[in-house]
């Protein structure tokens, strides 16, 4: 009964066989486990819900998962022998499914994190060992195209042994996977330096490499920043108001994270006084959306409805608008934090005379300065080129992606904000950026 119904009703047949006390089936313990597995279900699936290949795959999987070692061994051997011709249908990779649906794809960094995880969990211990050590060393430096190659090699084959045989040279590599990443993997597995690799790469090592990956986050040049901006509007239908609102919210969260009000720490009633210096462009708009306990300094007013309305909202909300040029001394005396929202990625040095006073006040400020996107006065790509007016912010909030000048940032807090970049746009610009946690608008870029 057991054998004849194997192809269609393995579990039920096992139940029947076990129910007969006269059964002297050599795999009695096997059957008992199957019976137990059946009984533990609330009800077997109605006929037809589970396809035959799915059922075989599930049973093969279940055979390997039994807890009692003797049963697991028997079941494994049995299932291997009986099911050897069956290739378990693996779920399609998430990305393939997403591409098929023509929907958004995961970010490069999400893909890197997933591959790091998957490299440590490739079913077979041998593959876990080889892949986790390889991933530990090479994943952080892989380009998006190389990540795709690696993704295909470790996730497409349905038989883990194939991966093992290809990498160890026991079987020739199929042409589909014959690429630079596979070659690097084969080279790594050859282990000519006789490196000791007796354990899966440790989680601490994986974390360390993901920290190393932070230093490889994308840094945009001025032209790319402008092109991304244009595409967000022209191709993805965003309005400047939307993006500015989200950027402003990110800045507010960053300031709150970096300088939490004392009231939240010790219950005191004092509120941090924040001066927000707004420039004439969108960077200034990001500053104006920020909300803490602010005063706004807005020396050069832009005559566009968006800016007029932002100013109206500040005045309507009772936020003081500071008319006189703040100096380093007044900043120290009257404020706890100064937000530098003067210039963003469209800034072209040198600073024009009308902004020199506030720039030199910001450069000499003794209170923490939070720069939005680009520290004002810095060259967007080269960084602090004008030594006489170099702001040294304590906190930098990069928007969309850090600009190249952020490599010169030495302050304590670096955040990325602007959680609005569509994954496809990120991919087309090869943006390698961290994921935003939960529903946060910012992610820390600090090592």
- Choose the stretch contacting ligand NPW; rule: CB under 6 A; options: 90-98, 183-191, 242-250, 253-261: 242-250
Name the residue nearer to ligand NPW (CB basis): 29 or 253: 253
Per CB under 6 A, does 164 bind ligand NPW?
A: no
Report the site for ligand NPW in 354-383 (rule: CB under 6 A): 355, 372-374
Per CB under 6 A, does 393 bind ligand NPW?
A: no
d(CA 1, CA 391): 83
Give least dist CB 396 to ligand NPW, A.
Answer: 11
Name the residue nearer to ligand NPW (CB basis): 119 or 282: 282
Give least dist CB 429 to ligand NPW, A.
Answer: 11
Judged by CB under 6 A, which of 119, 282, 360, 371 binds ligand NPW?
282
Per CB under 6 A, does 286 bind ligand NPW?
A: yes
Give least dist CB 356 to ligand NPW, A.
Answer: 9
Judged by CB under 6 A, which of 133, 147, 189, 243 binds ligand NPW?
243
Name the residue nearer to ligand NPW (CB basis): 59 or 395: 395
Mapping DSSP onto H, E and C, the string for the chain reads CCCCCHHHHHHHHHHHHHHCCCCCCCCHHHHHHHHHHHHCCCCCCCCCCCCHHHHHHHHHHHHHHCCCHHHHHHHHHHHHHHHCCCCCCCCCCHHHHHHHCCCCCCCHHHHHHHHHHHHCCCCCHHHHHHHHHHHHHHHHHCCHHHHHHHHHHHHCCCCHHHHHHHHHCCCCCCHHHCCHHHHHHHHHHHCCCCCCCCCCCCHHHHHHHHHHHHCCCCCECHHHHHHHHHHHHHCCCCCHHHHHHHHHHHHHHHHHHHCCCHHHHHCCCCCCCEEEEECCCHHHHHHHHCCCCEEEECCCCCCCHHHHHHHHHHHHCCCCEECCCCCHHHHHHHCCEEEEECCCCCCCCCCCHHHHHHHHHHHCCCCCEEEECCCCCCECCCECCCHHHCCCCCEEEEECCCEHHHHHCCCCEEEEECCCCCHHHHHHCCCCCCCCCCCCCEEECCC
Both tokens assigned to 106: 């995961």
- Choose the stretch contacting ligand NPW; rule: CB under 6 A; options: 55-63, 150-158, 177-185, 346-354: 346-354
d(CA 78, CA 56): 13
Name the residue nearer to ligand NPW (CB basis): 331 or 416: 416
Judged by CB under 6 A, which of 33, 105, 173, 244 binds ligand NPW?
244
Judged by CB under 6 A, which of 64, 176, 211, 348 binds ligand NPW?
348
- Choose the stretch contacting ligand NPW; rule: CB under 6 A; options: 91-99, 123-131, 136-144, 279-287: 279-287
Judged by CB under 6 A, which of 140, 279, 384, 417 binds ligand NPW?
279
d(CA 421, CA 233): 11
- Choose the stretch contacting ligand NPW; rule: CB under 6 A; options: 74-82, 135-143, 280-288, 320-328: 280-288
Name the residue nearer to ligand NPW (CB basis): 140 or 287: 287
Per CB under 6 A, does 277 bind ligand NPW?
A: no
Report the site for ligand NPW in 418-437 (rule: CB under 6 A): 418
Q: Kindly list the distances between the CA atom of residue 220 and the CA atoms of 246, 276, 373, 380, 392, in Å, as whole numbers in the listed order.
A: 20, 25, 11, 9, 20
d(CA 232, CA 246): 13
Give least dist CB 310 to ligand NPW, A.
Answer: 11
Give least dist CB 298 to ligand NPW, A.
Answer: 13
Per CB under 6 A, does 232 bind ligand NPW?
A: yes
Name the residue nearer to ligand NPW (CB basis): 282 or 441: 282
Name the residue nearer to ligand NPW (CB basis): 57 or 396: 396
Q: Is residue 274 a contact partner of residue 338, using CB atoms and an 8 Å limit?
A: yes
d(CA 363, CA 371): 12
- Choose the stretch contacting ligand NPW; rule: CB under 6 A; options: 44-52, 91-99, 111-119, 275-283: 275-283
Per CB under 6 A, does 351 bind ligand NPW?
A: yes
d(CA 68, CA 186): 36
Per CB under 6 A, does 409 bind ligand NPW?
A: no
Name the residue nearer to ligand NPW (CB basis): 180 or 230: 230
Per CB under 6 A, does 280 bind ligand NPW?
A: yes
Per CB under 6 A, does 352 bind ligand NPW?
A: yes
Can you give the binding site for ligand NPW, defined by CB under 6 A?
A: 228-229, 232, 243-244, 247, 279-283, 285-286, 343-352, 355, 372-374, 399-400, 418
């Amino acid at each position: 009964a057991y054998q004849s119904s194997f192809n269609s009703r393995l579990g039920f047949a096992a139940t029947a066989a076990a129910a007969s006390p006269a059964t002297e089936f050599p795999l009695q313990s096997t059957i008992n486990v199957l019976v137990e597995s059946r009984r533990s279900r609330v009800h077997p699936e109605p006929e037809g819900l589970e396809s035959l290949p799915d059922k075989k795959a599930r049973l093969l999987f279940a055979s390997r998962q039994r807890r009692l070692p003797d049963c697991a061994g028997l079941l494994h051997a049995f299932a291997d022998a009986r099911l050897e011709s069956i290739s378990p249908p693996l779920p399609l990779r998430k990305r393939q499914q997403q591409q098929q649906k023509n929907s958004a794809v995961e970010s490069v960094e999400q893909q890197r994190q997933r591959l790091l995880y998957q490299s440590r969990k490739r079913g077979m211990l041998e593959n876990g060992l080889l892949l986790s050590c390889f991933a530990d060393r090479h994943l952080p430096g892989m380009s998006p195209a190389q990540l795709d190659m690696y993704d295909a090699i470790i996730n497409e084959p349905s038989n883990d042994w194939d991966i093992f045989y290809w990498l160890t040279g026991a079987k020739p590599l199929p042409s589909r996977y014959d690429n630079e990443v596979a070659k690097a993997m084969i080279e790594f597995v050859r282990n000519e330096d006789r490196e000791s690799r007796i354990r899966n790469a440790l989680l601490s090592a994986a974390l360390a490499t993901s920290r190393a990956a932070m230093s490889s986050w994308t840094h945009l040049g001025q032209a790319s920043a402008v092109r991304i901006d244009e595409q967000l509007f022209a191709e993805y239908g965003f309005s400047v108001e939307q993006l500015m609102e989200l950027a402003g919210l990110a800045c507010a969260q960053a300031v709150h994270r970096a300088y939490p009000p004392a009231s939240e720490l010790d219950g005191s009633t004092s509120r941090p006084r924040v001066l927000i210096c707004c420039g004439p462009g969108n960077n200034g708009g990001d500053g104006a959306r920020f909300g803490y306990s602010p005063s706004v300094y807005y020396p050069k007013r832009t005559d566009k409805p968006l800016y007029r309305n932002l100013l109206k909202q500040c005045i309507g909300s009772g936020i003081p608008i500071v008319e006189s040029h703040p100096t380093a001394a007044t900043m120290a005396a009257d404020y706890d934090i100064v937000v530098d929202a003067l210039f963003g990625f469209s800034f072209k040095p040198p600073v024009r005379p009308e902004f020199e006073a506030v720039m030199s006040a910001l450069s000499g400020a003794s209170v923490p300065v939070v720069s939005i996107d680009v520290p004002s006065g810095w060259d967007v790509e080269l960084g602090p080129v004008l030594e006489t007016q170099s702001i040294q912010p304590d906190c930098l909030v990069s928007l969309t992606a850090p600009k190249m000048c952020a490599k010169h940032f030495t302050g304590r807090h670096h955040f990325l904000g602007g959680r609005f970049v569509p994954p496809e746009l990120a991919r087309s610009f090869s943006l390698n950026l961290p994921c935003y946690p939960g529903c946060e608008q910012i992610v820390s870029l600090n090592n």
